[in-house]
Amino acid sequence: MSGPYVTIDLDKIEHNTRTIVELCERHGVEVTGVTKGVCGHPEVARAMLRGGVISIADSRIENVERLSAAGIETPVMLLRVPPLSGAEQVVQQVELSLNSELSVLEALGEAAARHGKEHEVLLMVDLGDLREGLWPDELIPFVGDALTIDGITIVGIGTNLACFSGLAPSEDNMSQLVALAVDVESRYGLSLRWVSGLNSSGLDLLASGRLPARVNHARLGEAILLGRETIKRKPLSGCFQDAFVLHAEVLELKQKPSDVQGERGEDAFGERPAFEDRGRIRRALLNVGREDVLVEGLTPQIPGLRILGGSSGYLVVDVTDAPEELIVGAELSFDLTYGALLATMTSQYVKKRTLSAGAARQGG
């Protein structure tokens, strides 16, 4: 039985990485590649490393384990603030984690001391996106307390914008981050290696030249994987947007009405979908659905096709205006948003096929 599959073009990922790393270097920013969107896929991490990232970051310990099991020895940064219950594992698996709770830092410090290690931490500040991090006025006293904990070293401060509330990075909030770093350094006599201000939402600001000079680190996932910044989802110049493509097979092709006749209730997901009445149309059923992908995040590569909706195992597509005659058994390809990529990489039903001209030459 064949199922849907996603192709992963490693050369495109490497190219995107190199393009973005060079842009960031011109503005004094070093890049860590984020693999959480691909569940810590080791070959994607290797493509990012070939493209010039200084390290890899992921939000899940399982993904970090996957990377190290595959022999990737680069330092890995844990992006999601660690659970208090997982301090032991975190200290053993990663060199650096993002943090915002004193009790967790204490647990990390104890675990690190037990293993004769020093665990590096980046303190997260919430500059208004309202997800993780200390509120700015809490930072200074927090650092004072954190400095009394053995086994941890504060290597920098960071912030994460756009992911939760869509708050955009700006010259203002980045200057606020820099001011906080300077304040921490002068009060406690520290020297912070990282002011980690950016994720993929910050590349426009960086390219505009308005990023304060002291911001020197970016944690980039979507920009590398899908070639877009994430405020307006604008394609980044010189980058590929189709390193990942989802492929599915046509199971049924029928001429049927475009709208429903009769009394209607909710669909399988509790929604009441609305359909436009356009008479009889040609409808294709594909072998991909909500168990595999975020249906709303798919764009057919063939122009003229329209996605009408999806259930757990089917995607329904209007193929009336397909430029060529489709047949049962044909394969259709789709570009993915970040949400669709995430779902696809997470689904056990979607096979992952890596492509690489370089690897092919070496008989891989």
Of the residues 19, 35, 160, 287, which one makes contact with ligand PLP according to CB under 6 A: 160
36 touches ligand PLP (CB under 6 A): yes
Asked whether 235 and 161 are in contact (CB, 8 A), the reply is no
- How far apart are CB 223 and ligand PLP at their closest, in Å? 6
Of the residues 17, 230, 344, 356, which one makes contact with ligand PLP according to CB under 6 A: 230
Give residue number: closest CB to ligand PLP.
221
220 touches ligand PLP (CB under 6 A): yes
34 touches ligand PLP (CB under 6 A): yes
Determine which helix (DSSP H) or strand (DSSP E) holds 67, and give its type and residue range.
Answer: helix 61-69
How many angstroms separate the CA atoms of 64 and 61, rounded?
Answer: 5
Helix, strand or coil for residue 278?
Answer: coil
Catalytic sites, residue numbers: 36
- How far apart are CB 73 and ligand PLP at their closest, in Å? 22
- How far apart are CB 24 and ligand PLP at their closest, in Å? 12
Q: Which stretch binds ligand PLP (CB under 6 A): 10-18, 21-29, 216-224, 241-249?
A: 216-224
Strands (E), the chain: 5-9, 30-34, 55-58, 76-78, 96-99, 119-124, 152-158, 194-198, 217-220, 244-257, 280-286, 298-300, 306-310, 315-318, 331-336, 351-355
Sort 313 into a burial class: Cβ within 10 Å, 0-12 / 13-18 / 19+: middle
How many angstroms separate the CA atoms of 61 and 79, rounded?
Answer: 10
How many angstroms separate the CA atoms of 121 and 361, rounded?
Answer: 41
Closest to ligand PLP by CB, 163 or 168: 163
Of the residues 219, 228, 247, 283, which one makes contact with ligand PLP according to CB under 6 A: 219
Q: Which stretch binds ligand PLP (CB under 6 A): 213-221, 246-254, 294-302, 304-312?
A: 213-221
17 touches ligand PLP (CB under 6 A): no
Asked whether 13 and 47 are in contact (CB, 8 A), the reply is yes
Helix, strand or coil for residue 174?
Answer: helix
Binding mask 184-203 for ligand PLP (x = CB under 6 A): ---------------xxx--
- The string of DSSP codes covering 331-355 is EEEEEE-HHHHHHHHH-TTSEEEEE
222 touches ligand PLP (CB under 6 A): yes
Asked whether 76 and 67 are in contact (CB, 8 A), the reply is yes
33 touches ligand PLP (CB under 6 A): no
- How far apart are CB 200 and ligand PLP at their closest, in Å? 3
> Which positions touch ligand PLP (CB under 6 A)?
34, 36, 59, 79, 98, 160, 163, 199-201, 219-223, 230
